Structure 1
Amino acid sequence: MPDLSNQQDPQNEAQLPEEILEQAALWLVTLADEEATDEDIQTFKQWQQQDIRHVEAVTEMQQTMGLFHGAQQTSHTHIASQIIEQVLTDAQLEEQNNSWSQPRNLLLLAGMAILLALLSWQILPTDYWLADSRNDSQDWSEQVLSDQSQIHMSGKTAYNVKYNADQRIIELLQGNILVDVAKDAHRPFIVQTRFAKIKALGTRFIIHHSDQRTTLIMLHSATEVAPVEINQHAVIVKAGQQVSIDEHGVGSALPIQPSLLDEAWQQHALVVDKMPLGQVLDILQSYQSRTLHYRTEDLQHIQVSAILPLNDSALTLLQQSLDIRIDKTLLGQIKIEAKK
């Protein structure tokens, strides 16, 4: 495993003074705190704009965090033990060599902060904090864009707006949006997620996006959907249809009742019909203040047909009606598993 205290080569060290690395480390630890404010975010952006080296230092620290990102879906306890052992070994070597310096101490503290984030199944959400528009887990809001298109957000949601003379792109990073598209004959309207490129051919649709999949619900007219991660032809999804797109491509279209789902959104509720429980939890996660921990593959056999309120009571209703167990862990997570 790489040594966290020695991530730079000599050339980078010459370009990035220790003082700037120290500031970058402190900024990222500050932003990892759930109590980080909008003022903190704005001040951080201003700090980055002051010097290109500030941006480079942040990028270097984020690359260090990237060492842990792939570990989210593996054995957390085993990896955490390895990280702790390595950090302690590095600290002992530094003490023996009498070469411990304040900036490197701060970098180690930043590494430990990242470890704490890993242990709680959360990696620093810089994309969320720095997005053009974002929403918290129990908030519902809307934005009118420069072309008069409207985006309604619910739950923990974040997206970027990328408009130019040729096209209108919404980069949905996470969460839930209902879109009303304004007509523009010269610029197509596209919603881009990790899994899908969704080109509007009409006006109104809902998208739920998580780390596992993108779910498109057509309320009016149609969209053209192309998968991002595999070579598959684009498909047309029409009003009254719902599709899920993941790393395997675009799934089969399922029938839905547009008026019912539209009304459910207005009432802050979620309508699902024979949807696998894992997929339901993917959506509910964005409305929860606590992390939901579950194995999707262990819950795929449990189908859910329900109208669920999009608040904490949704989990209670699921537990009452399904053969599942819900417990709280020592790390503050909510663990969901099928009863044996």
Structure 2
Amino acid sequence: MNSEQIIQQAANWLTRLHDEDVSDAERRAFNAWCEADPRHAVAIERMRSLWGSLDTLPAQPARVALNRAFAPQRSRTAPVVGVLGVLLCGWLGLEHLPVWMADQRTSVGERRQIALDDGSQLQLNSNSAVDVKFDGQQRVIELLQGELWVDVAKDAQRPFVVRTDQGTATALGTRYLVKRAPDGTTVV
């Protein structure tokens, strides 16, 4: 251990020992530290001499300065980072929540054939998700993610609509493929 480290430790010990709440265990640890190396005792005596010269200064400002120097520092950025983390998690959750809550979805590498109540057939490709909304006027498939092959059962009274954020594809009875990508939707 070099002399600079010993001086730093001596200063730390003296600061702790001047605290009103110093325990007997801390005093015993200090005595053990002093006896562990003769340089420790020399450093303590030098620090006490320096400390004694500080007695001519008003006590309260010096104590406040020392207490502030050794007080745990609070990070001012921690609350900001916490709020940004919560916002990021919320944004990611909102971004992916519709896919997680989809009526039908497939994972990566999985394909699924789905028979709908009207007789239409859907084939979901890998990593795809759809919501199915049928009512008395129309049949709507919301393609939330991925790729969908549709074999539409004919029903002149209720059009079959596949909807994405970029638009819709409407049919009364046919087969087609709808692929949703980040840059647009393709209908084949």
Corresponding position: 1:146 with 2:112: no
Match of 1:197 among 151, 162, 168: 168
Match of 2:77 among 61, 82, 89: 89
Q: 1:163 to 1:190 in 2, by over 3 A?
A: same
Contact (CA 8 Å) 2:152, 2:172: kept in 1 or not? no
Paired position in structure 1 for 2:67: none
Instruction: Tell me how far 1:112 sits from its aligned partner.
Output: 6.1
Paired position in structure 1 for 2:41: none
Match of 2:86 among 107, 110, 115: 110
After superposition, the C-alpha distances for 1:244-288 in whole angstroms (9 at most, x for unaligned) are xxxxxxxxxxxxxxxxxxxxxxxxxxxxxxxxxxxxxxxxxxxxx
Aligned-pair identity in percent equals: 35
Instruction: Tell me how far 1:214 sits from its aligned partner.
Output: 0.5
**Bigger Rg, which one:** 2
The aligned length equals 113
Instruction: Tell me how far 1:110 sits from its aligned partner.
Output: 3.3
SS of 1:91's equivalent in the other structure is helix
SS of 1:199's equivalent in the other structure is strand
After superposition, the C-alpha distances for 1:151-195 in whole angstroms (9 at most, x for unaligned) are 000111111111100111111111101000011121111111111
After superposition, the C-alpha distances for 1:221-243 in whole angstroms (9 at most, x for unaligned) are xxxxxxxxxxxxxxxxxxxxxxx
TM-score (norm 1): 0.30
Q: Distance in 2 between matches of 1:154 and 1:88?
A: 48
Contact (CA 8 Å) 2:180, 2:186: kept in 1 or not? yes
Task: Indicate the structure with greater helix content.
Answer: 2
Instruction: Tell me how far 1:90 sits from its aligned partner.
Output: 5.7
After superposition, the C-alpha distances for 1:10-29 in whole angstroms (9 at most, x for unaligned) are xxxxxxxxxxxxxxxxxxxx
Runs of 4+ deviating beyond 3 Å: 107-115
* Unaligned runs of at least 5 residues, structure 2: 1-74
> Superposition RMSD on alpha carbons, in Å?
2.8
Instruction: Tell me how far 1:137 sits from its aligned partner.
Output: 1.7
Corresponding position: 1:132 with 2:103: yes
Q: 1:126 to 1:112 in 2, by over 3 A?
A: closer
Instruction: Tell me how far 1:196 sits from its aligned partner.
Output: 1.6
SS of 1:128's equivalent in the other structure is helix
* Unaligned runs of at least 5 residues, structure 1: 1-86, 93-104, 218-340
Q: 1:112 to 1:211 in 2, by over 3 A?
A: closer
Instruction: Tell me how far 1:200 sits from its aligned partner.
Output: 1.0
Q: 1:167 to 1:88 in 2, by over 3 A?
A: farther
